[in-house]
Amino acid sequence: MKRFLSATLALNAALAASPVLAAVTGGSAAPVTSTAKPSPVLSAASPNDFSLTRDVKRTVLSNGLTVLTKEVHGAPVVSVQVFYKIGSRNEAPGVNGIAHQLEHLMFKGTTDRPVQFGRLLGALGADFNAFTYYDQTAYHETVEREKAGAALQLEADRMVNAKIDPAALTSERNVVLSEIEGDENDPAYRLERAVQAAAFPGSPYGLTVGGTRQDIEGFTAAEVSAYYKKYYSPEYATLIVVGDFQTADMMQQIQAAFGKLGKPGTLPVTTSAPLVPGGSEATLGKSPPKAPIVLKEAGSTPLLNAVYPLPDVSSPDAAALKVLDYVLLSGRTSKLYQSMFESGLAADGGTLPYQFARGGWYSFNFTPTPDTGLPKLDAALLATLADVRTNLVSAEEIARAKTSISTSTLLGTRSIDAQATNLGMDATTAGDYQYTDKFLAALQTVTPADVRRVAQKYLPDSARTVGYFEPTKAVAGSGNAPSAGGATQEAFNAGPPVDPAEVAKYLPAYQPSGQAKITLPDKFTLPNGMTVMLLRDTSTPTVSLSANVKAGREFDTDAGAGLVDLVAANLLSGTQTRDELTLAKLLDDVGAQLAPAANRFGVQIGGASRDKDLPVLLTALADILQNATFPADQFKRSQARAVQGAVQANDDPGSVAIKVFRKTLYPAGNPWQVFSSPATIGALTRQDALDFYKTHYRPDATVLTLVGNFDPAQVRTLLNQKFGGWSASGPAPQVVYPMIGKPAGVVKAFGDLPGKTQAVTYLGYQSIARSDPRYYASLVLNDVLGGSTLSSRLGTELRDKEGLTYGVGSGFAALKQPGAFSISLQTNPKDTDKAIQGALNILKDVRDNGLTATEVATSKNGLLSSYTVGLADPAALAATFTSLVSDGLPLSELTDYQAKINAVTPAAVNQAAKELLDPDNIVEVTAGPEGGK
């Protein structure tokens, strides 16, 4: 569960790169201006000057294994990924889900290594996961460069030696079934399944990627094993390795690990055949049902899903379809944004043209606002599609689409693991690892006439299958659609506890990693008090931006709760010199991204652009931080959306549990006690937003970090120009968090949510701040207790051994202010009491008996490795600098991290356990049906 993979990764990201949902849910793309002329500040690069594959080397081993390598020398890390050309596309009713079931079994160990692979990868400090999709099943891990060889050996081992026996199947089948149960709990998933099945009868693309309960319950170990033996072999696999290595040396390691597998003289497989012959794979040209499919079931909001068949990924129309999608829904200037959101008809939604190896579809999903019926929403969608079939879009819009699509592809592959995944998806879906580069070249030739032609060809009303979800009574299920196009999202069963020393026995040998050198940014303060950090990174022609303004939810008041989020959501709604559309165009014209989001301690603004467009990005940022006007119309619409979000949150066990937990733990008047509600949000006015903005958005409360390819001296000049006139008087507002006493004994509270199938529990109390001398010991303590998914005490005992929870975790919220220590549990309501008791027993055991020296050593090793791996992504690096400084901590925390973790002794951890774990004085809150019983 370390990393989730969304359906839009790689190939589809390249094809789709859709800023849509972000734009819809609160302001991302969009900005500014007429001053977007190429700036002298940055190295001038022309729009399509980059190639994702120029430095990629393709090699086919004699056993048929395709190998793609690319050296990227930035951070000392390597991404290792194995893609198999077998996915749900090869399935049929009766065997739907076998690829996914096998994917889970690939973590159960091999004949030589009878130990959970998650434990092995975890012990390497890898950031790892796997997923199943239509055309492929993939396994990926990012590790320190010294451990790349070990990762290769593990992948080679499980390519041919996985242990697939009835016991392994039984335990992992339950994990797959609960994953499917989670999906099926979501009305959006159920609606999309119904529409997909009706649109593509008899086609594997009408099936679900994850599988059906019935089919999964029916698989035998022999069947899964036969499937594994047939498809998991070098000729069906593509190995991708991207990162900090020398190619010749890496190829030797690859040959050593994989060369001996399979049969020499084998050729790579281009496309694997369907498991059940005879079924059609093509998805174009079916005659779909005319009347809407209507689902009347329990749910929280109505939903619309419409699907139009598309050709496969090799179609010459792929680029025009992607431009069409940009024209339809991207930033605030796009057609569906205007007709669905700006009109006030839709509260949420998105679109995506999916194209796979043997077919595809264009999917439209929308949630209406409370006063809008589904037929009215649908009519607006149809009218917009009629518009693009009839009228030519302007050359200006086409140009903007091209820039934005290619730029978002570039920005989406800033990290090595994203680059590797992109190569793997292209190699297995399109059968051509250079697909994205060719797609981007084809993009440049798309004309307005092409866009109208593909709209006419693929989006006539007669081609579609549409479904309506009409909720009969409100139940859970926030509408976070996994989407029929979604890859599986994994949480693996770690199996019974294993002594870390036992795990270490099965790890391939590797060189000790060097001290990872972290380069700190140049940090300075502008005369107005704004803190700036600059770090030059020339590895890609991009810049990543992270800003934080200390104007977070901690400043919300009881009566006006929700204001902080509304202010953040409207930063891009207009400024004194740019209305919403002008602001949107400023950013869209160069494909730059800027997205504010509020949290408790601040409003974080993430952004990115090509290096040459940094002046545009900073122009937009400076404008929204200094000159936002909160236009009444936009304010009202975002307020309506926020009210609806609060209504849904009141029905969500997770949201209710955390709210009751804080209400119970903290006394009245404590800043942690403030919560928004539909009523408080509904009462807010535009004037409230203006007043808050004036008081809290100030330079001395702002931290800005840039990481990327720029000349620092020139950027300083630019920052002085853009932010020099910004000022504030008096001291910046502060929130005081009083220390509270311990809970007296076990204090229980409940949140009643009738009809729920799942309960969420929080256990905890106030604990330490980041400045506490026990902070580093607490990191190790928590990692073993409940921090790391696959090997924690809580996860192993409650989830893997007892099967009492689907998800369990723990954490110390140690920031500048002391935060809570808490354990969270997701349970079936019938198991809640037992799970709580189990968690308290573990707390007591760890407090009284401590951790073993091996547990502490393993955890330290994992924390150190994942620290290095985590800093490899420039966007994450920028965000880390910003949040550290915003929290009032010195940057030396980063350089000292390794030494401080190394210095943590078992005695220190066990002393911290005695002092910081208290199962006898704890708040215990459950939200669920009948309070979680």
Least distance CB 172 / Zn ion (angstroms): 9
Residue closer to Zn ion by CB (options 146, 181) is 181
Our finding on whether 488 is near Zn ion (CB under 5 A) is yes
Single-letter amino acid code for the residue at 609: S
Residue closer to Zn ion by CB (options 488, 705) is 488
Least distance CB 557 / Zn ion (angstroms): 43
Q: Output the CA–CA distances (angstroms, integers) from residue 717 to 287, 423, 522, 543, in the order listed.
A: 61, 39, 15, 17
What are the phi and psi torsion angles at 579 (to 5°)? -80, 180
Count residues near Zn ion (CB under 5 A): 3
Our finding on whether 887 is near Zn ion (CB under 5 A) is no
Nearest to 868 by CA among 588, 344, 516: 516
Pairing of strands 293-297, 465-471: parallel
Least distance CB 127 / Zn ion (angstroms): 18
Nearest to 662 by CA among 652, 654, 653, 672: 672
- Single out the segment in contact with Zn ion by CB under 5 A; choices: 296-304, 484-492, 498-506, 711-719: 484-492
Residue closer to Zn ion by CB (options 181, 915) is 181
Rounded Cα gap, residues 605 and 73, in angstroms? 28
Residue closer to Zn ion by CB (options 325, 490) is 490
**C-alpha 218, offset from chain centre:** 32
Least distance CB 168 / Zn ion (angstroms): 15
Residue closer to Zn ion by CB (options 100, 147) is 100
Instruction: Find the DSSP H helices in 756-831.
Output: 775-782, 793-794
Residue closer to Zn ion by CB (options 482, 932) is 482
- Single out the segment in contact with Zn ion by CB under 5 A; choices: 133-141, 365-373, 487-495, 502-510: 487-495
Least distance CB 177 / Zn ion (angstroms): 10
Least distance CB 826 / Zn ion (angstroms): 16
Q: Which of residues 176-205 bind Zn ion (CB under 5 A)?
A: 179
Residue closer to Zn ion by CB (options 348, 490) is 490
Binding residue (CB under 5 A) for Zn ion from 490, 652, 800, 887: 490
Show the site string, 152-181: x = touches Zn ion by CB under 5 A, - = not: ---------------------------x--
Q: How far apart are the first and last CA of the chain?
A: 28
3-state secondary structure 212-261: CHHHHHHCCHHHHHHHHHHHCCHHHEEEEEEECCCHHHHHHHHHHHHCCC
Q: Which of residues 839-868 bind Zn ion (CB under 5 A)?
A: none
What is the token pair recorded at 367?
């949630």
Rounded Cα gap, residues 97 and 210, in angstroms? 5
- Single out the segment in contact with Zn ion by CB under 5 A; choices: 242-250, 295-303, 486-494, 923-931: 486-494
Q: Which of residues 785-844 bind Zn ion (CB under 5 A)?
A: none
Rounded Cα gap, residues 302 and 187, in angstroms? 9
- Single out the segment in contact with Zn ion by CB under 5 A; choices: 82-90, 221-229, 374-382, 480-488: 480-488
Least distance CB 729 / Zn ion (angstroms): 56
Specify whether the CB–CB gap between 432 and 426 falls below 8 A: yes
Please identify which residue in the block is written with the tokens 């595809």.
360
Q: Which of residues 19-48 bind Zn ion (CB under 5 A)?
A: none
Rounded Cα gap, residues 415 and 75, in angstroms? 10
Specify whether the CB–CB gap between 742 and 902 falls below 8 A: no
Where is 137: in which H helix or E strand? Answer: strand 137-144
What is the token pair recorded at 382?
């149809």
Least distance CB 180 / Zn ion (angstroms): 8
What single DSSP character describes residue 368?
E
Rounded Cα gap, residues 792 and 783, in angstroms? 7
- Single out the segment in contact with Zn ion by CB under 5 A; choices: 490-498, 541-549, 807-815, 832-840: 490-498
Give Cβ neighbours of residue 126 (< 8 Å, ≥ 6 apart). Answer: 141, 142, 143, 147, 151, 865, 866, 869
Residue closer to Zn ion by CB (options 132, 832) is 132
Rounded Cα gap, residues 190 and 469, in angstroms? 9
Residue closer to Zn ion by CB (options 211, 234) is 211
Residue closer to Zn ion by CB (options 84, 433) is 84
Signed CA dihedral, 567, 570, 572, 577: sign only: negative
Pairing of strands 237-243, 66-71: parallel
Least distance CB 234 / Zn ion (angstroms): 24
Rounded Cα gap, residues 455 and 16, in angstroms? 16
Least distance CB 538 / Zn ion (angstroms): 39
3-state secondary structure 659-713: HHHHHHHCCCCCHHHCCCCHHHHHCCCHHHHHHHHHHHCCHHHEEEEEEECCCHH
What single DSSP character describes residue 279?
S
Residue closer to Zn ion by CB (options 179, 312) is 179
Least distance CB 583 / Zn ion (angstroms): 41
Least distance CB 488 / Zn ion (angstroms): 4
Helix-strand-coil percent breakdown of the chain, rounded to 5?
45, 15, 40
Our finding on whether 623 is near Zn ion (CB under 5 A) is no
Please work out, in degrees rounded to the nearest 5, the angle formed at the alpha carbon of residue 131 by the alpha carbons of 125 and 133.
160
Least distance CB 105 / Zn ion (angstroms): 11
Show the site string, 661-680: x = touches Zn ion by CB under 5 A, - = not: --------------------
Residue closer to Zn ion by CB (options 105, 646) is 105
**C-alpha 105, offset from chain centre:** 24
Show the site string, 572-591: x = touches Zn ion by CB under 5 A, - = not: --------------------
Nearest to 422 by CA among 897, 8, 724, 858: 8
What is the token pair recorded at 563?
């204001």
Show the site string, 416-455: x = touches Zn ion by CB under 5 A, - = not: ----------------------------------------
**C-alpha 851, offset from chain centre:** 33
Least distance CB 218 / Zn ion (angstroms): 17
Least distance CB 759 / Zn ion (angstroms): 22
Least distance CB 492 / Zn ion (angstroms): 8
Residue closer to Zn ion by CB (options 479, 486) is 486
Least distance CB 399 / Zn ion (angstroms): 42
Residue closer to Zn ion by CB (options 221, 891) is 221
Least distance CB 164 / Zn ion (angstroms): 16
| Complete edge-to-edge strand list for the sheet that includes strand 66-71 | 56-60, 66-71, 237-243, 77-84, 137-144, 127-132
Residue closer to Zn ion by CB (options 486, 574) is 486
- Torsion from C-alpha of 791, 6, 870, 532, nearest 10 degrees: -140
Residue closer to Zn ion by CB (options 133, 231) is 133
Q: Which residue is nearest to Zn ion (CB)?
A: 488
Residue closer to Zn ion by CB (options 179, 317) is 179
Residue closer to Zn ion by CB (options 554, 800) is 800
Residues near Zn ion, by CB under 5 A: 179, 488, 490
